[in-house]
Amino acid sequence: MSKFSAVNAALAELGFHGSYRPQDITFLLKACDIQPTPVAEKERLIQSGLKHYSEMISEEKPPTAEHMAHFQHALKLGAERLAAEVQQLGHSLSARFPAQPVILVSLVRAGVPLGVLLKHQLEKTQPCFHYGISIIRDRGLDLAALNAIIRQHGADNIVFVDGWTGKGAICRQLTQSLSSYPELFDDGWEIPRLVTLSDLGGYSWLSAGCEDWLIPFGILGSVISGLTSRSVLSEDISQSQMQDGCLNPDNWHNCAIYGHLKADDLSLQFILQILDLIQQKPHAAKAGWSNAMRSQQQQRSLNAVQWIAQHYGVDNINLIKPSIAEATRAVLRRVPERILIQDSAHPDVQLLLHFAQERAIPVDILGGQLGPYHAVTLIKKVEKKQ
């Protein structure tokens, strides 16, 4: 353990660390028993407007042997890249916050594995605290959980962490939710301090790059995220609860703990494997990222999503799930209509092509029309009952 390893005792007592070690993360979520909703029924309720997607989760099954084989392939291809990019991001954060504690706030779930790795990287030089909190499109960031963190640490050194951006919906939601928190924005930036591995949508304050690649933790769910489910919010939390009751877990967004997947859990094993690579292959470079790069990438993303929407007659862009990671998760959690691939020979899209064949999902090969994306899943539009 690093000499700087840091845990806030008050928040650790209120939260939990899932299947990670206590020093890795404190989840500020309320763990609940949540009855799963079948995928097809969930899709009908979402698209009919009867329920918001955040009010339901489907059962998460153990990954199949074929799925795990593709994960191991992704790890073989991308582990060294991941180890190098974690170090680059860590060096950039250390330069921005020299000799100061850094407060990492990972967006559950996709930001969590990256946040754990960054915590270990940063603790080589300075204290670092790490939390996992919920953000939900159209509902917002869990401000009660955020206020609990600010009450303990202040806001000046808070950095949000997500695995990647697709269309940028989560960062736009983050920006909107933090409109009353100017201390979470740096001068000259319209967006809060959000760190990602791959900023495909062009919405990150700091990113290791903007390439659509097979991020290993992007193709698994709870078994690489501390056995936590996607966050759930069954009812809105009032502004007074967010502020005055921020240290009460009953006011935080909910999640399920998937104990039935304990035998399949890779969360800690994955972290240790990447940390071992970091130790073996140290990198001194910082991440090369700028506001100008972000803006250029955002335009590429917007152009591609607009073309897809027009070409396929999609009137709700929430049904477009771009990036290898988002496309894969959509196939596993939603009802897919079609998968769009830039190059069917590319090694990073083979798991998606496997799912397409297994489930008889049509695939279109579109080359450069997909812009920065190697893969996109279109969600099937559910016919409304008369």
The model's pLDDT over 339-351, given as tens digits with 9 standing for 90+, comes to 999 999 999 999 8
What b/e sequence results for 74-107 when a residue is b if at least 16 CB atoms lie within 10 Å of its CB, and e otherwise? bbeebbebbbbbbbbbbbbbbebbeeebbbbbbb
**Tally of domains in the chain:** 2
Residue 290 lies in a domain: no
Give the C-alpha separation, 308 to 378, whole Å: 9
pLDDT band, residue 386 (cuts 50/70/90): very low
Same structural domain for residues 332 and 260? no
- Name the β-bridge partners of 102: 128
Same structural domain for residues 272 and 367? no
Residue 293 lies in a domain: no
Same structural domain for residues 360 and 223? no
Same structural domain for residues 122 and 181? yes
Residue 47 lies in a domain: yes
Residue 276 lies in a domain: yes
User: Is pLDDT above 70 for 240?
Assistant: no
pTM: 0.92
Give the C-alpha separation, 31 to 134, whole Å: 12
Residue 345 lies in a domain: yes
Give the C-alpha separation, 271 to 216, whole Å: 11
Same structural domain for residues 44 and 189? yes
pLDDT band, residue 237 (cuts 50/70/90): low
Residue percentage of the chain with pLDDT more than 90: 82
Same structural domain for residues 335 and 221? no
Q: What tokens were used for 338?
A: 């079609």
- Is there a contact between 341 and 374 (Cβ–Cβ < 8 Å)? yes
Q: Are strands 206-207 and 194-196 parallel, antiparallel or unpaired?
A: parallel
Q: What tokens were used for 372?
A: 């920065």
Tell me the pLDDT tens digit for each residue of 241-293.
666 778 899 999 999 999 999 999 999 999 999 999 999 999 999 999 999 99
Residue 384 lies in a domain: no
Same structural domain for residues 182 and 255? yes
Tell me the pLDDT tens digit for each residue of 6-40.
899 999 999 999 999 999 999 999 999 888 888 88
Same structural domain for residues 319 and 184? no
Taking all residues of the chain, what is their mean pLDDT, rounded to a whole number?
Answer: 93
Residue 288 lies in a domain: no
Tell me the pLDDT tens digit for each residue of 126-163.
999 999 999 999 899 999 999 999 999 999 999 999 99
Same structural domain for residues 213 and 321? no
- Is there a contact between 310 and 318 (Cβ–Cβ < 8 Å)? no
Q: What angle do CA 84, 229, 64 make, to 5 degrees?
A: 75
Which of 280, 315, 347 is the last residue before a domain boundary?
Answer: 280
Tell me the pLDDT tens digit for each residue of 294-350.
999 999 999 999 999 999 999 999 999 999 999 988 998 889 999 999 999 999 999
CATH number at residue 372: 3.30.1330.30
Same structural domain for residues 209 and 84? yes
User: Is pLDDT above 60 for 94?
Assistant: yes
Give the C-alpha separation, 193 to 349, whole Å: 30
Which of 231, 262, 280 is the last residue before a domain boundary?
Answer: 280
Tell me the pLDDT tens digit for each residue of 176-213.
999 999 999 999 899 999 999 999 999 999 999 999 99
Per the structure, the complete domain to which residue 316 belongs is given by 307-379
